[in-house]
Structure 1
Amino acid sequence: MKKAILHTLIASTLALLSHQAFAAQDEVNLRMSWWGGNGRHQVTLKALEEFHKQHPNINVKAEYTGWDGHLSRLTTQIAGGTEPDVMQTNWNWLPIFSKDGTGFYNLFSVKEQLDLAQFDPKELQQTTVNGKLNGIPISVTARIFYFNDATWAKAGLEYPKTWDELLAAGKVFKEKLGDQYYPVVLEHQDTLALIRSYMTQKYNIPTIDEAGKKFAYTPEQWVEFFTMYKTMVDNHVMPSTKYYASFGKSNMYEMKPWINGEWAGTYMWNSTITKYSDNLTKPAQLVLGPYPMLPGAKDAGLFFKPAQMLSIGKSTKHPQESAMLINFLLNSKEGLKH
């Protein structure tokens, strides 16, 4: 009898230890990084909470920031093999991190966990390098104009439909509202992108001759390119890059002139505009404006691309679970509603 009890206790103990070992082994810790404003942070965090409810053995540590500094941080992580398991990435990062397609985990390898049938093959082709799927495109984005409705109403102007109307608006803003008011403000590469659009409309040529792997502009056209920037600054259409830089390195949507409506518009990726609109002093809001065109232009020079992607780090130790997380965020009702 004592032996039977002893055997039972030993068996129970071994079973308990085995269960604990299995549970510990089964627990997975992932890291996920993204950039954005507070609105994006909150909805993503809620989605991660819902994912954990459905997969209690998978813990996801959130690593989120604003845009500034995000790329440099990720570059350091990738170089050191410490990048997150799942990360929000940019389409134009592929030539930087994955020239041969091996910079990110090949998502074709986790098709059992990630339902690729939900995506257009043409869209996936844009994020495939050397036959390796480096990311799932979340959406397509384009640079377009948004205007602060309250400030433009104070100026008594309609939103510009031509470049001449845009140039003329600067003088009205200065005279009616004051030196600190501008029709638009441009940050980072947006100034170059806007003037590229103007040049495309005027000459119907791209900036880059991809076949010849060289710039397509003549020296005279380059002079015109940068003269257009000076013309916009001189006409008080937008602050100069030097003046803009004096406000520091914080995000533009966090700067006081933007919040209070002194900077009354922007030329921005439509996928990021929510965080800019959310920070305006109410009741002001951003409204979609027309796209300024030159008479007779055949091409608006509108630039669009995959907005963001979700990728898996090449150094991940949990590719299947990482794919499950992406699949949840993009293909499940619970993930999509957040």
Structure 2
Amino acid sequence: MRNDKLFFSFFPLALVFSLFFLGCSPSGSVGKPCEVSFSWWGNESRNQYTIEGIKLFEKENPSVKVLPIHESWEEYEKNFEKKLLSGNCADVMQVNFDWLHKYSGDGLGFYDMGSLDEYIDLYNFTMDDLSFGTMKGRLNAIPISFNTAIPVYDKKVLDELALDIPSTWDELFNLAKMLKKKDMCVFTMSNRHLFFLAVAWFEQTYSKKVFTEQGRLDISLEEIGLIFDFVKRLVSENVVYSPTKGIRIAALRERKVIGAVLWCSESSLILTEAKALGGNGVLGNFITTPGARESGWYLKPASMYAIKKDTEHPKEAAMLVNYLLNSQDFALLQKNEKGVPISNKSLTALMEKGQLESMQYTALMKIRFNSAAINPMIPIMEDSQLITAFSSEVFAYLDGGKSKNEAAEEFWKFVNLRK
């Protein structure tokens, strides 16, 4: 298991080394002219700055031609497994954290970038950073940034109610009680974050983890039922708005909610909405049960870069990975769009140019200052199929389509009996 205290204690020292070695990136031609493919997902804005960055990389490395492969998230996720298993994936690819465990449990699904340290400035990352991408001793992927679910509020409404930002579940439900008088809820959120919120409550309240490290449920059917009942309470007592429809940022504009639970990399969405309404978007606290022995909150890489396991051009692929992660030029193009970068060289570039005055950066600092209260995410918790199964069963219970025991049993079977 990852050591969070080690992760945070390494940060200042690693930053010093990155500043000292600022000009030590490998650059220039490595060998004969070749083509390296690179795949990523995202909106058109991400596509545009990535293409611009690729052109700069090619200018610096004229022997390397980059073949860009850009898709929407939906397309990328749908096509990834088929491309990877058929050997038709890109030489360099953006990957999700849980894909390492899904496709490289033996550590052999992706290239070992630890053997390419001549071309990738690994000193910009702590050992703990790299542990997220290490499978069976092989460095399969390197994180771009970190993410955790976090509550965000329009503080203007809290001030009007003379209430502080909630720190405990009781305070959260008290806030919801006050908002109910105004026909408002506390949060809009995705089904994924609804699941995370329920897990946090259960683990804190019962001092027991929901999942094993191997990704199996470590709780009984009765305990699954307790989680389902807590979701029911979140909905019935106006904590969560319209859960079956997922997150709706517009609900803030419509005065249906005063905040959201979302990824810290997305937190500025609430800031923008709150400002448009004359409010003040602020980060919330990691809600806890007083005296809890389990934190219930989890940290994960927002996304990562990996190299094809049998690429014909490992050195050139490594040079591209190094550019994407550690180039100050690319950092200034990307800014915080994929979250605040954890590469100390990229972070330094943004700090020097004043590009870190954002809620995302504040969220990163909040993560660092609350390191003891955030666990490394168990990969199964990122599995989209698991989130779909949980949502389907809990909503079937809430809607009366299934009994609590029936829904809990179906969810247990999905997680523990699937291959």
Same topology, TM > 0.5: yes
For residues 175 and 214 of structure 1, do their structure 2 counterparts lie closer, same or farther at Cα, with a shift above 3 Å needed? same
8 Å CA contact retained: 2:114, 2:139: yes
Distance 1:230 1:190 in 2: 15
For residues 44 and 197 of structure 1, do their structure 2 counterparts lie closer, same or farther at Cα, with a shift above 3 Å needed? same
Distance 2:185 2:48 in 1: 32
The partner residue of 2:152 within 146, 151, 162 is 146
Aligned to 1:165: 171
Aligned to 2:260: 266
Confirm whether residue 323 of structure 1 aligns to residue 318 of structure 2. Answer: yes
Distance 1:135 1:33 in 2: 14
8 Å CA contact retained: 1:148, 1:287: yes
Aligned to 2:219: 217
8 Å CA contact retained: 2:38, 2:90: yes
Residue 77 of structure 1, CA deviation: 2.2
Q: TM-score, normalised by structure 2?
A: 0.63
Distance 1:45 1:296 in 2: 50
SS in 2 for 1:83: coil
Distance 1:62 1:274 in 2: 29
Bigger radius of gyration: 1
Greater relative CO (CA pairs within 8 A, separation 6+): 1
What's the CA shift string for 1:232-290, capped at 9, x where partnerless? Answer: 10011113432x15xxxxxx46x643565644322222234345655667255642112
Distance 1:89 1:214 in 2: 23
Confirm whether residue 334 of structure 1 aligns to residue 325 of structure 2. Answer: no
For residues 308 and 56 of structure 1, do their structure 2 counterparts lie closer, same or farther at Cα, with a shift above 3 Å needed? same
Look up the equivalent residue of 1:168 and give its one-letter code.
N
What's the CA shift string for 1:143-186, capped at 9, x where partnerless? Answer: 2211234555566643222212222333433432x3xx431122
Aligned to 1:191: 194
8 Å CA contact retained: 1:135, 1:310: yes
Aligned to 1:207: 210
Aligned to 1:87: 93
Confirm whether residue 115 of structure 1 aligns to residue 117 of structure 2. Answer: no
What's the CA shift string for 1:41-87, capped at 9, x where partnerless? Answer: 55544433322332244343444455445322322322332222222
8 Å CA contact retained: 1:113, 1:324: yes
Aligned to 2:39: 32
Extract unaligned runs of 5+ from structure 1. Answer: 1-24, 246-251
Instruction: Give the % identical residues.
Output: 29
8 Å CA contact retained: 1:260, 1:280: no
For residues 227 and 129 of structure 1, do their structure 2 counterparts lie closer, same or farther at Cα, with a shift above 3 Å needed? same
SS in 2 for 1:143: strand
Distance 2:36 2:61 in 1: 11
Aligned to 1:182: 185
Look up the equivalent residue of 2:195 and give its one-letter code.
L
Extract unaligned runs of 5+ from structure 2. Answer: 1-31, 334-419
Aligned to 2:292: 297
- The answer to which of 121-130 and 268-277 deviates more is 268-277
- The answer to which of 290-299 and 270-279 deviates more is 270-279
Distance 2:61 2:197 in 1: 46
For residues 321 and 276 of structure 1, do their structure 2 counterparts lie closer, same or farther at Cα, with a shift above 3 Å needed? farther
For residues 93 and 273 of structure 1, do their structure 2 counterparts lie closer, same or farther at Cα, with a shift above 3 Å needed? farther
Residue 337 of structure 1, CA deviation: 2.8
SS in 2 for 1:113: coil
SS in 2 for 1:200: helix
SS in 2 for 1:141: strand
Q: TM-score, normalised by structure 1?
A: 0.76
Runs of 4+ in 1 over 6 A off after TM superposition: none
Equivalences, count? 301
8 Å CA contact retained: 1:182, 1:263: yes
8 Å CA contact retained: 2:154, 2:270: no
Distance 2:268 2:49 in 1: 13
Aligned to 1:8: none
